Amino acid sequence: MPDIIHQVAIKGSDAQIYYALTRQEGLAGWWTRHTQAATVVGATSTFSFNNGETVFTMRVDALEEPRLVRWYCLSGHPEWARTTIEFDLEQDADITRVNFKHLGWRSTDGILGMCSYDWAGYLWSLKELIETGVGHPYEDPPLTT
C-alpha cells in the first residue's frame, strides 16, 4: 500500500507542537478553522472543508504526550476511509522534527498525489503557526447566492 510521508523541522518545542496537534485552537490554527477536536484516546474529532461538504471523522488512536499523535480515519472522502494519520515528534535542542505519515492508501490513483501536496502545505502552516504565531489553515470560500 502506498503512503504519504513528510518531515518538517520546526523551531519550537515538542510540547508546543503537540498542543497544536491535539487541541481545538491549535488544529484550527494550522489545518482547518472548522475543527471539533477530541483529546481522549478512542474519541472522535471532525475536520470540515468546503462549507461542510467534506467532513473527515478521525478516531484518536494514540496520544503520547509530547511525542506521538495518531488518528484513524473513519469517514470523509472514500479514499481516506480506513487510513491512519500519524505525527511523530523528535525534539533536538530548539528544533522539533515532525515526522508525518498518512498510511494505508489503497492506490496511487485518485487523490493521493493531491493530498500529499496539501499535507505538505498544511505542515508548512503548522511550522508558521509555531514559529510566527500565525498559521494558514483552510478557510471556506464565501458562499455565493
For residue 140, the model assigns a pLDDT of: 79
Report the C-alpha gap between 19 and 21 in whole angstroms: 5
Query: What's the pLDDT tens digit per position in 30-83?
Result: 999 999 999 999 999 999 999 999 999 999 999 999 999 999 999 999 999 999
Looking up cell 515532525, which residue turns up? Answer: 98
Q: Which residue ranges form the domains of the chain, and what is each CATH number?
A: 4-132 (3.30.530.20)
Burial 32-54 (b: 16+ CB within 10 A, else e): bebbebbeeeeebbbbbbeeeee
Give pLDDT, residue 144: 64
- Residue range 1-19, pLDDT digits in tens: 899 999 999 999 999 999 9
